[in-house]
Amino acid sequence: VSIGAGFVVIAGPCAVESREQVRRTAAAVKHAGAHMLRGGAYKPRSSPYSFQGLGREGLVYLREAGRETGLPTVSEVMEPTQVAHMADEVDMLQVGARNMQNFPLLSALGEIDKPVLLKRGMMASIEELLLAAEYIVSKGNKQVVLCERGIRTFETATRSTLDLSAVVVLKERTHLPVIVDPSHAAGEARWIAPLAKAALACGADGIMVEVHPDPQNALCDAKQALTPAGFEELMEQLDRLAGACAARETVTSGPSDAGHADVLWQPVGW
Amino acid sequence: VSIGAGFVVIAGPCAVESREQVRRTAAAVKHAGAHMLRGGAYKPRSSPYSFQGLGREGLVYLREAGRETGLPTVSEVMEPTQVAHMADEVDMLQVGARNMQNFPLLSALGEIDKPVLLKRGMMASIEELLLAAEYIVSKGNKQVVLCERGIRTFETATRSTLDLSAVVVLKERTHLPVIVDPSHAAGEARWIAPLAKAALACGADGIMVEVHPDPQNALCDAKQALTPAGFEELMEQLDRLAGACAARETVTSGPSDAGHADVLWQPVGW
Amino acid sequence: VSIGAGFVVIAGPCAVESREQVRRTAAAVKHAGAHMLRGGAYKPRSSPYSFQGLGREGLVYLREAGRETGLPTVSEVMEPTQVAHMADEVDMLQVGARNMQNFPLLSALGEIDKPVLLKRGMMASIEELLLAAEYIVSKGNKQVVLCERGIRTFETATRSTLDLSAVVVLKERTHLPVIVDPSHAAGEARWIAPLAKAALACGADGIMVEVHPDPQNALCDAKQALTPAGFEELMEQLDRLAGACAARETVTSGPSDAGHADVLWQPVGW
Amino acid sequence: VSIGAGFVVIAGPCAVESREQVRRTAAAVKHAGAHMLRGGAYKPRSSPYSFQGLGREGLVYLREAGRETGLPTVSEVMEPTQVAHMADEVDMLQVGARNMQNFPLLSALGEIDKPVLLKRGMMASIEELLLAAEYIVSKGNKQVVLCERGIRTFETATRSTLDLSAVVVLKERTHLPVIVDPSHAAGEARWIAPLAKAALACGADGIMVEVHPDPQNALCDAKQALTPAGFEELMEQLDRLAGACAARETVTSGPSDAGHADVLWQPVGW
């Protein structure tokens, strides 16, 4: 799998809930054509009384499901002391929106040799996202993938406001690949397909979406999870669209504008 | 021309500056495949010292250019007393973002028999946009087209933040057609094409873009105007994409949720 | 009454609902020490199905109540054609937040010889507020009072986010008086007193608050209306504070920075 | 010193830059009447190329300056592994806005017996701030002080938009003390005094402001630092105001509304 050289789809449950749940999801998304498997083991929840994830046990289940299906895995890391063991368990480490400016975490991720998926903070400017990437890259790890996942605005109809313009601006300012997470932005499963297609059409390098075998009983983000059937339908729609976008214009890109000399593009992959 | 039954492209200069300028633009956008011609005669400018538009003279030039090319025209109306003569001159009357909650203007537009293009205010919620449409529709004029044109957020890299989720939500809540104005949202000509394609991919019924024969010397919004050549390229990209989107899923729609019983879809056209 | 030379309190109902209601409110706020009486006759409501105000009849009741109590009156004007008769009926014409960039209205107000209360739009920058004032002042009417009333942000605990920094910045950039409307910003009667005191402490020239003899049965904005008793208590608290703020530092002010040469301070009054 | 039982002023440099700098600042703010000394040793900077603080060395200088002047100290902690040694060096540990939802850090702070100053995130709702406090309190550390420091909005005239309504709402929803940081909100030294007075007037339990002996040469946040003379003037203005606010109304408070049963007020102090 290479991110930055084709449209990549990352799918899986918000949280790993059990061996069985992640296994079933992995099989389903693999079948439908996903390229990577996501699943949270450490969950940053607004309330201390919400489900906080299975921790190391969750990572084991995720790795097993990834191996069974041949899908590389991605999972969220929440603090510097988790970096070492997560780098052993997963193929790409994710920095969540709430940690985009957790600088000790970013620095620690700059010292490993695994790709990092850096999500934009809910109120982070494009400039700040690039500077956060620079924390990782300047420490030596050049394998950074950026992710637009919606920003916080006055509009409450959607969970966040997906800022697809950011994809366009980022593709101009940096060589790093840029993917889109429509699930967290929309907050409603039925709005994900049109936004995923829009992400493809505006030049994103991929999407990350939440899929759950039984959304109604999901332990987190139940409303925004696609069913396996819904995900399959999305993949078909994306396939049709991808053809029309195939002759994609080469994006003119240069170094970004705030002295981020290191944020140079190279395909991130395995 | 019917809005709501195919992807419609409205193009033209921000402001009508001269007979020659609008004529040249009209010929160019017609040649490239545009369906309607836009051009401002009354311009709502933040500063009283900026160019305020040619007024009635501008409407005459716009109408002439529309007739020569066979393109229906759209132009912005700023106050109730302009409604009558504008309804004589143009085919669709536009309410600008700053006037989305100018209720006397909306009510006046509810009493004519011409389509109205209602732009979302920069800080208007989706609910408020629907209620603004309801002012027009409840007075008897059911020909309303909604337009997402970017909302105001903390991000300053783009002029506004284009909220394509709003298109998705609106298509679910109302039967009214929804178009997108990527020019005002992006504020930069080179970002318009990817956003226009995203608008098509997520289910919008059309776009409105600014085209100027000589953007560098435009009297307003110079940075965001496409050249005729840039517009032609955009149309080609949209054509390729439209095929892949053709088998568009029927949008399940019902009445919107705040008692807007009248906002029922019907193709708006001529 | 002079605005800009002491702390001025404008109070009254959101909407004039009846002769009796505005009369009772006027007597109560006069008794508690208010300097001016407010009351809406034309109401800009988000929904066309909400109470739209009593219109001219409301203006008559407001004027009567003002005369009985000796309080100058202020009421909202919604369109250019209302300017002439409102200038006959009320002492100060208010431009609501939704109309801050209704340029034909601003221009019409620039041609009368009555003070104008210009409320900041929910989405308007400080710069845009000054430019809106410039529309009025550049036409010849220099009697403009600015009003901060809360801006729209992601926070939903309050109706809007009161931006008291704007008062501080405006006092530096313009000579125009600046007042604060804590009622619309807070949206809850019990939060108004502390915000009104903060407005006084940071240098505002006054406040405008909603008072209703029977808030529970108010036809609009019921939750944010103070009772006469609540208003009296607020006035006492403001009086205590005003002493401590009396030795107010002279605000260093110069012309604002975008060529608003005309926005020069002079006390606005009768 | 007790926070929550009188108006407390915390002052000091953004960053500890040298033994001499923090010593001079401490002497000056003590002389002017400050109650606590602030100073950053670990600095969360948007860019990896900005000054990152003196680290442990800075903590030593801060402690020395605090002891010389008898001022308790507060400094920012950035990650869980710093908590233990910082708890030895400073009297109150600060969580910065970017770390408000760094849950492992909050949990670690829940297990020490030192007060925690929790700053509201730039994008955090009032509800989320309370839930973040709940992470600390639910682990056993009930000494939490909340700090409003400005939220991110569309307005760019100020660095952030100070949300004083949040103080009012928080005082109603929680028993925890609430202070205000006008320095980061305003971003300009000359705007701090009026905002500090507004904070006092609306019921805040204190303020935290940046003071530097030589702002022009400060290594961070130079524009917003008060000079010692400016700080002295501010203290005099606050003293005058405090008298008028002394007879402060007892705030009616109850448990906050999302099951934060533990967030009960008790004075936080030494």
pLDDT digits (tens, 9 = 90+) for B196-237: 999 999 999 999 999 999 999 999 888 999 999 999 999 999
The 8-class DSSP code of residue D5 comes to S
How many CA atoms lie within 13 Å of C132's alpha carbon, on the beta-carbon side?
27
Q: What average pLDDT does range C178-202 have in this prediction? A: 96
pLDDT the model gives residue A234: 97
- Token pair listed for A138: 């300047």
B58 φ, ψ (degrees, to nearest 5): -65, -40
- Above 50 in pLDDT, residue C129? yes
Residue of D nearest to A106 (CA): D48
CA distance D5 to chain B (A): 36
* Cβ contact, residue pair C123, B123, below 8 Å: yes
CA distance D221 to D182: 13
Residue of A nearest to C151 (CA): A154
Identify the top-confidence range among A236-245, B233-242, C254-263: B233-242
* Cβ contact, residue pair B152, D156, below 8 Å: no
Q: Which residues contact C94 (CB under 8 A, 6 or more apart)?
A: C38, C74, C75, C76, C77, C116, C117, C119
CA distances (Å), C216 to each of C159, C211, C213, in order? 18, 12, 9
For residue A89, name the pLDDT band (cuts at 50, 70, 90): very high
CA pseudo-torsion sign D245, D246, D249, D251? positive
CA distance A216 to A223: 8
CB count in 10 Å sphere of residue A266: 12
Helix ranges, B33-115 (H): 56-69, 83-89, 103-109
Q: Which residues of D touch A (CB under 8 A)?
A: 44-49, 78-81, 98-99, 101-105, 107, 121-123, 128, 131-132, 134-135, 138-139, 152, 258-259
Query: Which amino acid is present at C40?
Result: G
* Cβ contact, residue pair C169, D157, below 8 Å: yes
* Cβ contact, residue pair A80, D78, below 8 Å: no
- Among D153, D168, D247, whose Cβ lies nearest the Cβ of C151? D153
The 8-class DSSP code of residue A140 comes to T
Pairing relationship of beta strands C268-269 and C2-3 according to DSSP bridges: antiparallel
D57 φ, ψ (degrees, to nearest 5): -60, -40
- Above 70 in pLDDT, residue C23? yes
* Cβ contact, residue pair D163, C161, below 8 Å: yes
CA distance C130 to D56: 48
- Token pair listed for B200: 């098509």
Task: Name every chain C residue with its beta carbon within 8 A of the beta carbon of D240.
Answer: 244, 247
- Token pair listed for A155: 């509009």
Task: Name every chain A residue with its beta carbon within 8 A of the beta carbon of D122.
Answer: 123
- Among D45, D123, D259, whose Cβ lies nearest the Cβ of A49? D259
Pairing relationship of beta strands C144-148 and C178-180 according to DSSP bridges: parallel
CA distance A37 to A29: 8
- Above 90 in pLDDT, residue A241? yes
Which of A123, A154, A156, A159 to mutate against chain C (most C CBs within 10 Å)? A154
For residue D227, name the pLDDT band (cuts at 50, 70, 90): very high
pLDDT in tens, A98-138: 999 999 999 999 999 999 999 999 999 999 999 999 999 98
CA distance B154 to chain D (A): 4
SS3 D91: coil
Q: What average pLDDT does range D7-35 have in this prediction? A: 97
- Chains in touch with C (3+ beta-carbon pairs under 8 Å) read A, B, D
Task: Name every chain C residue with its beta carbon within 8 A of the beta carbon of D151.
Answer: 153-155, 161
**What value, to the nearest 5°, has the Cα angle with vertex C25 and ends C20 and C26?**
100
Beta bridge partners of B76: B94
* Cβ contact, residue pair B123, C128, below 8 Å: no
Task: Name every chain A residue with its beta carbon within 8 A of the beta carbon of B125.
Answer: 154-157
Which of D164, D169, D248 to mutate against chain C (most C CBs within 10 Å)? D164
CA distance D38 to D75: 6
* Cβ contact, residue pair B48, C128, below 8 Å: no
CA distance D158 to C199: 17
Q: Which residues of A touch C (CB under 8 A)?
A: 123, 152-154, 156
Strand intervals (E) in C49-111: 73-76, 92-95
CA distance D1 to D39: 18
- Token pair listed for C246: 């009396």
* Cβ contact, residue pair B201, A194, below 8 Å: yes
Q: Contact at 8 Å (CB) between A157 and B127?
A: yes
For residue D19, name the pLDDT band (cuts at 50, 70, 90): very high
pLDDT the model gives residue B4: 83
* Cβ contact, residue pair C164, D164, below 8 Å: yes
0.95 surpassed by pTM: no
- Among B151, B190, B245, whose Cβ lies nearest the Cβ of A155? B151
pLDDT in tens, A148-171: 999 999 999 999 999 999 999 999
Label residue A141 left, alpha or beta by phi (over 0 means left) and psi (-120 to 50 means alpha): beta
**What value, to the nearest 5°, has the Cα angle with vertex B225 and ends B221 and B230?**
170
CA distances (Å), B6 to each of B35, B54, B269, C6, in order? 11, 33, 12, 61
Chain center to CA of B147: 6
- Above 50 in pLDDT, residue B269? no
For residue A246, name the pLDDT band (cuts at 50, 70, 90): low
Q: What is the mean pLDDT of chain C?
A: 90
pLDDT greater at residue A175 or residue D14: D14
- Among B46, B80, B123, whose Cβ lies nearest the Cβ of C152? B123
- Above 90 in pLDDT, residue C152? yes
Q: What average pLDDT does range C177-198 have in this prediction? A: 96
CA distance D87 to chain C (A): 33
Torsion of CA A251, A256, A257, A263, to 10 degrees: -170
Q: What average pLDDT does range C123-148 have in this prediction? A: 93
